[in-house]
Each structure stands twice: as structure tokens, then as C-alpha cells.
Amino acid sequence: MYRTEEGHNPHAHHIYNHSRVGIAEETKMEVEHLVGEGTSKPKAILQVLKKKQLPIPTLQQLKNYLYQYRKKIKGRARAALVIQ
């Protein structure tokens, strides 16, 4: 069995630098802009991000973000329809 010097700390997640985890805010803003303009395919979005020299998420990160973003947008549309 291997042992680390620090031991196991189940609450150590707060130690990580959260700015390096997930998709950068500037990238999220550009993805939202591209989706608003009609670009919906993840690989096409990655190409644009690369051309603009923005931080590039992994394909899976981008797919997950697009899923959550679209879910959020569709939720708003339904709420707007209910209010009218």
C-alpha cells in the first residue's frame, strides 16, 4: 500500500485553484455568443475559439457546457411562455 505524506483529506477540494478548473469565463462568453449566432456544433465552436486564441476546453467539457447552457436557455423560454 502506498502512503502520502499529507494523508487523505476528503475536504481538500478547496485547496485547488478553481481558476484552472472548468472553462474560462472569456471562453464561456464566446461560446454563448457563437450559439446565439447559430453555431451549434462543438467542433465548429472549438475551431473558432482556437482562431481567436481563447483558452480551449476539452471536447467533453464543451459538450457538457453546451448541454447546460441550452437547458438554461430553454428553461427561460418556457418561463416566458407561461407568464404571457
Can you tell me whether residue 28 is helix, strand or coil? helix
Q: State yes or no: pLDDT of 13 exceeds 50.
A: no
Q: State yes or no: pLDDT of 80 exceeds 80.
A: no
Rounded to the nearest integer, the mean pLDDT of the chain is 80
CA-to-CA dists, residue 52 to 30, 56, 83, angstroms: 10, 10, 39
71 vs 84: CA distance, rounded Å: 21
For residue 62, what pLDDT is reported? 97
For residue 4, what pLDDT is reported? 55
How many CA atoms, within 13 angstroms, populate the side-chain half-sphere of residue 1?
A: 2
Residues 6+ apart with CB under 8 A from 15: none
Tens of pLDDT, residues 26-59: 999 999 999 999 999 999 999 999 999 999 999 9
